[in-house]
């Protein structure tokens, strides 16, 4: 049986077997908010990755149990659990990548912006600690409203004189994951083979899927363009309503967060041509922060791949996103000024 299991198990552990990493390319990763709905399954996926030597779990609750539980999994990734503010500095020292899903999720009837008052301070406190303890780490922000929390994080790093605009990124991968899934469903394709850039921001109107740039190329009727765009923009709300008060997307987000983290880590270790979308300080459009496909390298984001050739429909979507996205960026800047 032992030899049978050893033949089977690598295929089961897709994440663990998807890449072989040498010791020198293994990295240290912290998850802040590791006790939560996203934090726990995200930490599980990271624990399965050979790209990670050390996994640091931080939260104000639950991490000791989650850490003990994950530490029994037969991978080499070392898990350490930290709980409460007094342990935050230790959780962050030496990290290459810090992923932040800490913060409250939506309930039905709320917008992501309704989370601002609580989550802005949580993100600001956590990023201040990153500035002090791991100023060169890449910071991947999942906590909503992403359109504003990334701005806050960037301003805080600036205030500590450690800002590197290649390293503070909002995770919008879930929009890309959903877009691929919904397109594949509509067109009878394998979702794993569908690629589509999603640009703009991460809330309602500001989520802009570039259906005209779907790969493999697919053609859509005007009605399909409209219904797919609406579904992608409202997919978060679809989950919030289905969970009926018990939170928002956690499992698909854990997958998306892991996909984003593995892309960053592979590029840090020298893999070339790694591209994922992300929301970041940007010069691609009139917006000072904007999600585009990003080329990752040994130091974080090497460059934005731009927005490509837009259809008239997509240009109109950008126009429609203007007010909300600019407002979200402005709120982030105003909060940061008061906080600092
Ligand atoms: P959750 O409530 O299940 O978990 C949040 C965790 O954060 C909790 O364990 C809580 O203790 C912890 N936390 C709170 N304050 C903290 C602090 N100061 N330091 C460390 N940890 C702290 O929520 P969730 O479902 O995991 O969602 C987390 C966030 O992610 C929400 O803001 C949600 O809107 C957002 N989200 C973003 C995306 C995206 O695509 N970017 C997708 C889904 C959810
Ligand atoms: C999502 O897109 O699922 C997240 O941003 C959570 C939410 O509030 O919708």
- Comparing CA positions, the residue from 81, 151, 86, 166 lying closest to residue 116 is 151
Indicate whether 14 pLDDT > 50.
no
Please say if 202 is a catalytic residue.
Answer: yes
- Comparing CA positions, the residue from 127, 128, 120 lying closest to residue 146 is 120
**Token pair for 144:** 């909503």
Residue-level pLDDT at 13: 41
Contacts of 262 (CB under 8 A, 6+ apart): 15, 18, 19, 49, 51
Residue-level pLDDT at 17: 44
The residue-averaged pLDDT of 139-149 equals: 98
CB 199 within 8 A of CB 306: no
Which residue numbers belong to the known binding site?
Answer: 33-39, 59, 106, 112, 119, 142-144, 178, 253
Helix-, strand-, coil-residue percentages of the chain, each rounded to 5: 50, 20, 30
- Return the ligand number nearest the Cα of 104: 1
Cα dihedral sign, 321-170-122-334: negative
CB 205 within 8 A of CB 321: yes
**Mean per-residue pLDDT over the chain, rounded:** 94
Note the pLDDT tens digit of each residue in 305-321.
Answer: 999 999 999 999 999 99
Question: Is the ipTM value over 0.95, yes or no?
Answer: yes
Q: Pocket residues for ligand 1 (CB within 6 Å)?
A: 32-33, 35-39, 59-62, 101-106, 115, 119, 122, 125-126, 142-144, 146, 171, 174, 202, 247-250, 253
CB 332 within 8 A of CB 148: yes
Note the pLDDT tens digit of each residue in 197-223.
Answer: 999 999 999 999 999 999 999 999 999
For the entire predicted model, the pTM comes to 0.95
Categorize the per-residue pLDDT at 15 as very low, low, confident or very high, splitting at 50, 70 and 90: low
Categorize the per-residue pLDDT at 24 as very low, low, confident or very high, splitting at 50, 70 and 90: low
């Amino acid at each position: 049986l032992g030899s049978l299991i050893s033949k089977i198990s690598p295929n089961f552990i897709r994440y663990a077997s998807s890449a072989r990493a040498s010791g020198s390319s293994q990295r240290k990763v912290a998850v802040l908010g590791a006790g939560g709905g996203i934090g726990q399954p995200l930490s599980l996926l990271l624990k399965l990755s050979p790209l990670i030597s050390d996994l640091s779990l931080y939260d104000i609750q639950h991490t000791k149990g989650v850490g003990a539980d994950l530490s029994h999994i037969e991978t080499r990734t070392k898990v350490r659990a930290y709980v409460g503010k007094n342990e935050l500095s230790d959780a962050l020292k030496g990290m290459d990548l810090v992923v932040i899903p800490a913060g409250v999720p939506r309930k039905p009837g709320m917008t992501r912006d309704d989370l601002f008052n609580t989550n802005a301070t949580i993100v600001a406190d956590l990023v201040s600690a990153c500035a002090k303890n791991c100023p060169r780490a890449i910071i991947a922000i999942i906590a909503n409203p992403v359109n504003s929390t990334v701005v806050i994080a960037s301003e805080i790093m600036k205030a500590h004189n450690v800002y590197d605009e290649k390293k503070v990124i909002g995770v919008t991968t879930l929009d890309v994951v959903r877009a691929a899934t919904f397109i594949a469903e509509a067109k009878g394709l394998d979702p794993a083979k569908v690629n589509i850039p999603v640009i703009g921001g991460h809330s309602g109107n500001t989520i802009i899927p570039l259906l005209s740039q779907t790969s493999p190329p697919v053609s859509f009727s005007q009605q399909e363009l409209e219904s797919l765009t609406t579904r992608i923009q409202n997919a978060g709300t679809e989950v919030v309503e289905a969970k009926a008060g018990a939170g928002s997307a956690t499992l698909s987000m854990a997958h998306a967060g892991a996909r984003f983290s593995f892309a960053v880590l592979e590029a840090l270790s020298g893999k070339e041509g790694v591209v994922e979308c992300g929301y970041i300080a940007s010069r691609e459009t009139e917006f000072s922060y904007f999600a585009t496909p990003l080329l990752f390298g040994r130091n974080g984001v090497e460059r934005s791949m731009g927005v490509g050739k837009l259809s008239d429909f997509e240009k109109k979507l950008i126009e429609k996103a203007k007010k909300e996205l600019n407002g979200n960026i402005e709120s982030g800047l105003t909060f940061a000024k008061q906080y600092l």
